[in-house]
Amino acid sequence: MFYSNNPLIKHKTGLLNLAEELGNISQACKAMGMSRDTFYRYQQAVAQGGVEALLKQTRRVPNIKNRVDEHIEQAVVKF
């Protein structure tokens, strides 16, 4: 059984627990309205990093603020 007080991952642990309780992944996924692929992704995340690995991981590339070189910035400011 997996437990978490974090509301962001509570439904994910609920799916894993339901599948364990029912002994049938397909039925658990159907009852929760999720795909089996999603279940296996959650299961793999828990196996690799524990329950906390279920926190949403962003796929975004970090957005570093657009910066110009210091000398160009100073030239614009002087202008």
pTM of the entire predicted model: 0.66
pLDDT band at 37; cut points 50, 70, 90: very high
State both tokens at 10.
């509570």
Give residue 15's pLDDT: 93
In this predicted structure, the answer to whether residue 65 has a pLDDT above a threshold of 90 is no
Give residue 25's pLDDT: 95
What is the pLDDT averaged over residues 21-29? 95
What is the pLDDT averaged over residues 34-57? 89
CA 16 to chain centroid, in Å, comes to 15
What is the pLDDT averaged over residues 61-70? 76
List alpha helices for the chain, DSSP H: 10-22, 25-32, 36-49, 70-78
> In the chain, where are the structural domains located?
1-57
| Percent with pLDDT over 90 in the chain | 48
